Structure 1
Amino acid sequence: MEVSRSMKDIQWLRHRVGQFLCVGFDGLTVPSHVNDLLTTHHVGNIILFSRNVSTTEQLIQLNQELQTIAKQGGQELPLTISADQENGVVRRLPADIPGLPGNMALGATGNAQWALKSGQLTAQLLRHVGINFNLAPVLDVNNNAKNPVIGVRSFADTPDMVADFGEKFIQGLQSQGVIACGKHFPGHGDTTVDSHLQLPTINHGRPRLERVELVPFRRAIEAGVDALMTAHVVFPAIEPKPIAATLSRRVLTDLLRQELGFNGLIITDCLEMNAVANTVGVGRGAVMALQAGADMVLVSHRLDRQLDALASIVQAVETGELSQDRIDDAYQRVANLKKARLTSNRRVRPWAQLIEETRTLQHDLAEHAVTKLRWESPLPPSVRRVAVLVDERVPVMVAAGDNHSPVLLADALQAVRPDLHSTVFRFPETLQQVRTDDLLAQLRQYDFVLIGINGGENKDYLEFVHQVHAQSILNVTLLLRSPYDAHLVPQSTNLLALYENTPWMAEAAVAAMFGGTADGALPVRIP
């Protein structure tokens, strides 16, 4: 009898611990090991990435299958199925659903009501495909132009503006029944290191953190945000030990819970990021995060690390390292959030109507976001032949993945001005085949040159662009990835900021070049 009760207790504990774990996997269908995680371990939370997404129909089927497996396996509450649908460069919805401009493009509109509308439509799209937990918005204040991981994922470089837009986006998501998650607490905006790769440190004192980094999070808490995601960043002013905020009780419990009064769900950023995996390790990190005050730990990729996290948490409870009170508290927060957001049946709008409304919002946001930084040489109406310069040596933001398209600008020209004839020159390939003087002579045969800037890694390309700018060749330069790249092209007379290399922003920029709306204003200061 004792053995049976002991076995039952162990099973109960494992099932409870499974609700603390959020896991990811490869593939467009449910792998057998995920089936086992959902049924044997009662893992209660899934995260999806682009690797899991093909079409709308496929994504709906995947999410329905995940929920069915969990229910048939004995889980009483639905799974949270999450994704990083920040919009812009970080998006997970399939390509057959219209995309929306991301945070910095929203900031460029200067109107936080656009963020509310974007949040509402994003939530409705997510709900249609079965995603109920959006790991957005980013609430980091991007006040460091060299930040490699946040950048245009932030709304702005001022705390009040980030707070205004973040609050509206949160309201939009939650008003439509989708869990919103502000990130990355207590701030990831002033780093020059990507925590996917290393452990960053923000050395500012507490007064500065109060004035800048913490402002958007305070506002989000006051607005009733459902969840907050932790940052794998060291904050010596709060936690003297050289550990990530994710693992710090001083950050998650003393500051976030007690000082700021946050009563919602705390979820970690992925524990497989090098800032944790290469320091304390995933299993140990899961235990430390729960001890610190987290309620859900994210392990996005490898099964062995997911099983390590589960086993480590169970062992920590059995040895008393994790108290029963802490386990009960975390479990209750997960369960309460699921009951509040996932158990009601909301009316689903007609899909065709939702898609059309999204397309309209995409267009309106894009034209109000495109920003003319300089516009000294307008294009004459007679232009017909366009040379398009494309830099193919593009820096990759880990969170966004490799979303570079060499035909982005040519496609945008075709969509907006099908009467134009464009020729694409790809770099560095073109410079390897044609002498610089000969190439400049070729470009003079075109009515104007359209130049895309994708960062500063390709020095030879930038040097050639500088030569084009120095010639009497009519040109327009587009900052495709970041407005901070403006310093790379100081001689450009026609310079537009797009904030993201997406088709809708490229088309809005082309339209603006020929007299269309470009109402955007920089939401950040350019050094």
Structure 2
Amino acid sequence: MFLSKVLVILTVNTAKQQSCRGQNKRGAEHMGQKLNWTATLGLTTALLAASLPMQPVAAETTPSVTERVDAQLDQMTLEQKIGQMIMPDFRLWDGVNHTQLAPEVGRVIDRFDLGGVILFAENVSATEQTTKLVHDLQEVVKSDASNDIPLFVTIDQEGGIVTRLGTGTNLPGNMALGATRSASYAEAAGGIIGSELKALGINVNFGPVLDVNNNPGNPVIGVRSFSSDPQLVGKLGSAMTQGIQEQGVAATAKHFPGHGDTAVDSHYGLPVVDKSLAELKQLELIPFKRAIAEGIDMIMTAHIGMPQIEDEVVESKQGTFPLPATLSDDVITGVLREELGYEGLVVTDALNMQAIADNFTESEAVIKTFKAGVDIALMPTILRSANDVTKLESIFDDVLAAVENGDLSEADINRSVERILTLKATRGIWNETDTPVTLDEKLAQANTIVGSPEHKALEREMTEAAVTLVKNDKKTLPFKPKKGETILVLSPAKDQTDSMVKTIRSLEKNAGNLKRVNILTENYTALTPHLEQNQVLQEKLDAADYIIIGSNVNNSDKLKATSADHYVPAEVFRQAKRTKTPSVLISLRNPYDVAVQPDAKAQLLVYGFKGDPNGPDSEAGNTKSAGPNLPAGTRAIFGEVKPQGKLPVDVPKFEDGLFKEALHLEFGDGFRNWNR
């Protein structure tokens, strides 16, 4: 009799709970949820066991991830499921950087049951501030008893030139790691990234970049890529992924099916890669295939047209374009899911980039994305104030309408949410039971790990191992100035010259073999006149005994003879050659600038343009412009570091404003005539 009553009570209560779960905060109707008989049966069995005398009580069984996910899906409304698939940013709110949770932002997250957010540099200025912001974001969903699934808190912490955190370890970047050829360094870099994000509460990293940078004219990838060799990209990308995911942070391979062979930045236009599937398999897909085989958590799409894979075209006010890969079922479902067998999460690149936004409405982009087989729509609209929330409402309403009219399949949505919940569970983001951790405990942990001395020491070691010497005529390097001699330092930006000057001064104090020298500096920009019209620079050149020129080139336009990024260094090197003044080009970004400076006596590559992590800005707590590359290169110029790196890309010749098939330098070059 007791057991019969229990069964009746449990059945009635469960049915009541299920009927209530359909009432979403925005008033969506419940879509026929099933009763959670698994939970009912488990509790009934436990009560039965307790009611039987002299019987041992069975140990409580922890539900499997699959059981938890199935149970959660059964109780979610359609609108709550869609919320898991939408990931906006809140980098600015009411005109200021969103560094502490605004109440309106919390209400947006709660109202739409959002599954995640992405953070940018505007959100993450300092360690304690970032820890508290992330803590507060998660507290918003914890307070919602009807749908308390923790957020994906994501960020683009690639290392090198794409480093979002305001404090912490910046690392040399992927192409620098490619120059070391070391999987151990790549894994260590991933471990540093993963452990620092984990300590801050950030649980998804949008990295590593697995694009193969085989197009030297690429304006957006460049040093973000490990190499122009797909096997090296796969090897180092796999190692970095392992380092990140071993820390409990989800890693994301990007940008599928490959953004390396493009000459257009998809932030500003739609690149087209006119290759067949067979051609892609020979190059672009190699790193992604390896990442899939080794268990990558997420893959991010690229906004690139693939006309030989997807023949649908887009007619817009901008003209006629191939349907971008992000919105293409032939690319996402056909190639990624079916051809490569990927079963994990797929997230878009930002949908407000112009490659998408110029050609589709916000709702069109999201719906096409979901139809293509993508699980998460990243940044589908720009939210900067409460007035923008109506745009998010429209997206939700349009997606719901697409399901109701059959344009979108609810079964496909269920599969996407199943993948989202599964990853949240397996990465420990959404736990069966949580051990409470106070904010103070989180802060203490973050302060211990983020930017730790151990991380900084590894950062310096791998950065120095990446420095690549590709030219050293008559053993120009290392410089060995005498006391009182003058060094002229030029670069495009003040923080770069400041970094080199600071490093030289530290060598005077600590190295012993560099005596007190005079240092002159100059910065050149697009407005810098030619040398015959530049009296200030000419006077500094006349006074110089040694010349260091930093070159920061990220596209082929800057390599043209009409660009100050070309002609300022070229004119200085020509004069230095006439006067026999020792000179060195230090390439700060894409290494292709070495092809247009033949008069430089020495050429050194460091693959990163950011200033000193201990530079002037760091004293004010601002290290966003910091990076270890320039100090490492400067130490190499004066013989404190022996260049060991090898070129991770081919450097073609550049003539008449175009890259040629003939090579200026080839993959693997380095170690040119070094004598300490």
Which residue among 193, 217, 222 is the counterpart of 2:293?
222
Counterpart of 1:364 in structure 2 is 461
* C-alpha distance in structure 2 between counterparts of 1:317 and 1:339, whole Å: 27
Q: Is the 8 A contact 1:24 1:300 kept in 2?
A: no
Which stretch of structure 1 is more off in the superposition, 146-155 or 1-10?
Answer: 1-10
Which residue among 421, 426, 450 is the counterpart of 2:548?
450
Q: How far 1:512 moved relative to its partner?
A: 0.6
* CA spacing shift, 1:326–1:416, aligned 2, 3 Å: farther
Which stretch of structure 1 is more off in the superposition, 160-169 or 307-316?
Answer: 307-316
- The residue type equivalent to 2:151 in the other structure is L
Q: Is the 8 A contact 1:416 1:507 kept in 2?
A: no
Which residue among 598, 603, 628 is the counterpart of 1:490?
598
- The residue type equivalent to 1:244 in the other structure is P
Counterpart mapping for 1:34-113 below 5 A:
34-74=105-145, 75-94=147-166, 96-113=167-184
Q: How far 1:7 moved relative to its partner?
A: 4.3
- The residue type equivalent to 1:445 in the other structure is A
Counterpart mapping for 1:61-210 below 5 A:
61-74=132-145, 75-94=147-166, 96-210=167-281
- The residue type equivalent to 1:521 in the other structure is K
The answer to whether structure 1 residue 523 and structure 2 residue 624 are counterparts is: no
Number of aligned residue pairs? 516
Q: How far 1:517 moved relative to its partner?
A: 2.3
Of the two structures, which has the highest relative contact order with CA contacts closer than 8 Å and spacing of 6 or more?
A: 1
Q: Deviations over 1:173-208 (max 9, x none)?
A: 111100000001111110000111111110122221
The SS at the match of 2:415 is: helix
Q: How far 1:433 moved relative to its partner?
A: 11
Which residue among 487, 510, 523 is the counterpart of 1:426?
523
* CA spacing shift, 1:409–1:301, aligned 2, 3 Å: farther
* C-alpha distance in structure 2 between counterparts of 1:78 and 1:380, whole Å: 58
- The residue type equivalent to 1:522 in the other structure is L
* CA spacing shift, 1:30–1:433, aligned 2, 3 Å: farther
Q: Is the 8 A contact 2:220 2:265 kept in 1?
A: yes
Which residue among 360, 364, 382 is the counterpart of 1:280?
360
Q: How far 1:101 moved relative to its partner?
A: 1.1
Counterpart of 1:400 in structure 2 is none
* CA spacing shift, 1:438–1:248, aligned 2, 3 Å: closer
The SS at the match of 1:190 is: coil
* C-alpha distance in structure 1 between counterparts of 2:528 and 2:499, whole Å: 18
* CA spacing shift, 1:70–1:484, aligned 2, 3 Å: same
* CA spacing shift, 1:250–1:433, aligned 2, 3 Å: closer
Scaled by the length of structure 2, what TM-score is found? Answer: 0.72
Which stretch of structure 1 is more off in the superposition, 289-298 or 354-363?
Answer: 354-363
Q: How far 1:308 moved relative to its partner?
A: 3.7
Q: Deviations over 1:214-256 (max 9, x none)?
A: 1111000000000100111111221112201111111111211
Q: Deviations over 1:330-369 (max 9, x none)?
A: 1101111111111468999785466111101111011100
The answer to whether structure 1 residue 509 and structure 2 residue 633 are counterparts is: yes
The SS at the match of 2:275 is: coil
* C-alpha distance in structure 1 between counterparts of 2:308 and 2:357, whole Å: 24
The SS at the match of 1:464 is: helix
Counterpart mapping for 1:20-35 below 5 A:
20-25=85-90, 26=92, 27-35=98-106
Q: Is the 8 A contact 1:136 1:182 kept in 2?
A: yes
* CA spacing shift, 1:61–1:485, aligned 2, 3 Å: same
Counterpart of 1:336 in structure 2 is 422
The answer to whether structure 1 residue 15 and structure 2 residue 80 are counterparts is: yes
* C-alpha distance in structure 1 between counterparts of 2:503 and 2:394, whole Å: 47
Which segments of 5 or more consecutive residues in structure 2 lack a partner in the other structure? 1-15, 32-75, 93-97, 313-321, 510-515, 613-627, 653-676
Counterpart of 1:245 in structure 2 is 325
- The residue type equivalent to 2:491 in the other structure is V
Q: Is the 8 A contact 2:256 2:302 kept in 1?
A: yes
The answer to whether structure 1 residue 476 and structure 2 residue 476 are counterparts is: no
Which stretch of structure 1 is more off in the superposition, 208-217 or 4-13?
Answer: 4-13
The answer to whether structure 1 residue 389 and structure 2 residue 389 are counterparts is: no
Q: Is the 8 A contact 2:531 2:571 kept in 1?
A: no
- The residue type equivalent to 2:153 in the other structure is I
* CA spacing shift, 1:301–1:322, aligned 2, 3 Å: closer
Which residue among 538, 550, 566 is the counterpart of 1:462?
566
Q: Is the 8 A contact 1:203 1:235 kept in 2?
A: yes
* CA spacing shift, 1:300–1:381, aligned 2, 3 Å: farther
* CA spacing shift, 1:336–1:112, aligned 2, 3 Å: same
* CA spacing shift, 1:28–1:452, aligned 2, 3 Å: same
* CA spacing shift, 1:382–1:226, aligned 2, 3 Å: same
Counterpart of 1:395 in structure 2 is none
Counterpart of 1:399 in structure 2 is none
* C-alpha distance in structure 2 between counterparts of 1:251 and 1:435, whole Å: 54
The answer to whether structure 1 residue 380 and structure 2 residue 380 are counterparts is: no
* C-alpha distance in structure 2 between counterparts of 1:264 and 1:438, whole Å: 59
Which stretch of structure 1 is more off in the superposition, 302-311 or 273-282?
Answer: 302-311
The structure having more radius of gyration, on CA atoms, is 2
Q: How far 1:93 moved relative to its partner?
A: 1.3
Scaled by the length of structure 1, what TM-score is found? Answer: 0.92
Counterpart of 2:350 in structure 1 is 270
Q: Is the 8 A contact 2:255 2:299 kept in 1?
A: yes
- The residue type equivalent to 1:78 in the other structure is P
Q: Is the 8 A contact 1:416 1:510 kept in 2?
A: no
Which stretch of structure 1 is more off in the superposition, 458-467 or 313-322?
Answer: 458-467
* C-alpha distance in structure 2 between counterparts of 1:142 and 1:149, whole Å: 10
- The residue type equivalent to 2:125 in the other structure is S
Which stretch of structure 1 is more off in the superposition, 352-361 or 340-349?
Answer: 340-349
Counterpart of 1:407 in structure 2 is 498
The SS at the match of 1:484 is: helix
Q: Is the 8 A contact 2:230 2:283 kept in 1?
A: yes
Q: How far 1:301 moved relative to its partner?
A: 5.9
Q: How far 1:511 moved relative to its partner?
A: 0.9
CA RMSD of the aligned region, Å?
2.6
* C-alpha distance in structure 2 between counterparts of 1:156 and 1:297, whole Å: 29
- The residue type equivalent to 2:426 in the other structure is A
Q: Percent identity?
A: 34
* C-alpha distance in structure 2 between counterparts of 1:176 and 1:430, whole Å: 47
Q: Is the 8 A contact 1:113 1:168 kept in 2?
A: yes
Q: Is the 8 A contact 2:85 2:115 kept in 1?
A: yes
* C-alpha distance in structure 1 between counterparts of 2:86 and 2:413, whole Å: 12
Q: Is the 8 A contact 2:585 2:602 kept in 1?
A: yes
Which segments of 5 or more consecutive residues in structure 1 lack a partner in the other structure? 393-402
* CA spacing shift, 1:350–1:136, aligned 2, 3 Å: closer
Which stretch of structure 1 is more off in the superposition, 302-311 or 363-372?
Answer: 302-311
* CA spacing shift, 1:12–1:415, aligned 2, 3 Å: farther
Which stretch of structure 1 is more off in the superposition, 34-43 or 180-189?
Answer: 34-43
Counterpart of 2:38 in structure 1 is none
Q: Deviations over 1:39-95 (max 9, x none)?
A: 11100101000011111010001000000011113432211100000000001112x
Q: Is the 8 A contact 2:157 2:163 kept in 1?
A: yes
Counterpart of 2:56 in structure 1 is none
Which stretch of structure 1 is more off in the superposition, 339-348 or 496-505?
Answer: 339-348
The SS at the match of 1:89 is: coil
Counterpart of 1:396 in structure 2 is none
